[in-house]
Amino acid sequence: MMIRYKTILVTGGAGFIGSNLCEALLAKDNKVICLDNFSIGKRENIDGFLNHPDFSLIEGDIRNLADCRNAVKGVDFVLHQAALGSVPRSIADPIATNSVNVTGFLNMLVAAKDAGAKRFVYACSSSTYGDSTVMPKREDVIGKPLSPYAVTKYVNELYADVFHKTYGFNTIGLRYFNVFGKRQDPNGPYAAVIPKFITQLMKYEAPVINGDGEHSRDFTYVANVVQANLLALTCEQESLNTIYNIAYGGRITLNELVRHLKNQLADYDAAIANIGVIHGSNRLGDIPHSFASIEKAKRNLHYEPAYTVEAGLKQTVEWYWQQQSKLVEAGKGVL
C-alpha cells in the first residue's frame, strides 16, 4: 500500500469512489491527475484538493480520445473509475451507457498503452455475475448479464484481457460489490440505496424497498475499495492481468440494512427509529443476491477489508449527518 511519489491518473476523479481515491493518493505524496466531465462527478467532491500542489484537474470526456491522450501524458499508473453506473439507467438509455462504458473504456486503454503507463487498474462490477446462482460469487464462474450495464462491464474485462495478450499491457480489474460511503450522491433517479435511505430517514420519509426486502447484498465500505486499488498498484507481477472481487465477503438483506440505518441515525435523532418502510415492486435487471468470495484478492493482493458493514455504515451515517447539519446551519435546507 506504500505507493508514493508516483504520477497517477484517476478517471472519474470527481465522482464518489474517484474522489476518495484522489484523497488517499494525495495523502501518500503522489501527484494526482483527475479527469472528469462532471456529468456525474461533482466539483464539491474535489474542492478540498484544488489548491493542493500535487493535484491537477483536466475537464474532459473519455469518449474523446484526444482528451484521454492528454490526460495520460507522463503518468505512471491509471485508476479508471469513470463510467455511467446504474442498472436502471442502462435499461433506460443503453446507448449512452455503452458509449461511456465501452467506447470510453477502449479509448482509455489505447491512450494509456500508447503513453507507456505501467499499470491500468479499472473498476469492474458484481453485475457481471448476472443470472449465476453460485454462492459465494467466484471470479471464474459468471452467468449471463441481466442488464445493458452488466454487458458493458463484462466487455471491459474482455478488452483488458485482449490488450494484455495482444500488446503485453498490464491491467487489473476490480469487481466492486455495492460500494457505499462519504460523497456518494443521495439524489436523482439512479441514486444508490444507502445514501438514498439515509437522506430519506433524516427527512422523516419512509424509505422504499424494491420487493420484500429479502434481496441481499455484499455491501462494501469505500475505504476497503480504496485499499484494494492501492494494493493493485503495488502487487507483484504475477498478480496482474486478472480480475478480483472487492467486497467485504458477507451479506445482509435490505430489511436488515434499513434496521441498521434507523438504529444508527436514532443516536442523532430518536424519532427516526419509528419511521416505517414502504415495499415496492422488484426492480428490473436486479441480481437477487450478491455475496463475494474474496479469497483470491486476499491471496494475491493481500487485501484485508478493514471495515465491516456495520463500521462502514457508522462512518457513513456520521458523514451525512454532518453534511446535513452544515446545510441547515447555513440556511440551505437539507440534503
- For residue 170, give the 3-state DSSP assignment: coil
Ramachandran category for residue 134: left, alpha or beta (phi over 0 → left; psi -120 to 50 → alpha): beta
Please return the burial class of 315, using the count of CB atoms within 10 Å of its CB with bins 0-12, 13-18 and 19+: middle
Residue 191 CA to residue 186 CA, distance in Å, equals 5
Q: For residues 258 and 207, is the Cβ–Cβ distance under 8 A?
A: yes
Q: Whose CA is closest to 266, among 274, 255, 254?
A: 274
Residue positions annotated with a catalytic role: 149
Residue 87 CA to residue 34 CA, distance in Å, equals 25
The x, y and z cell numbers of residue 307, run together, are 471495515
Q: For residues 122 and 160, is the Cβ–Cβ distance under 8 A?
A: yes
Peptide bond into 136 cis (omega under 30): yes
Angle at which helices 222-234 and 309-329 cross, to 10°: 120
The x, y and z cell numbers of residue 242, run together, are 486478472
Residue 211 CA to residue 20 CA, distance in Å, equals 32
What are the distances in angstroms from CA 222 to CA 68, 131, 311, 333?
A: 26, 26, 11, 27
Q: Whose CA is closest to 9, among 97, 100, 76, 88?
A: 76
First CA to last CA distance, the chain: 34
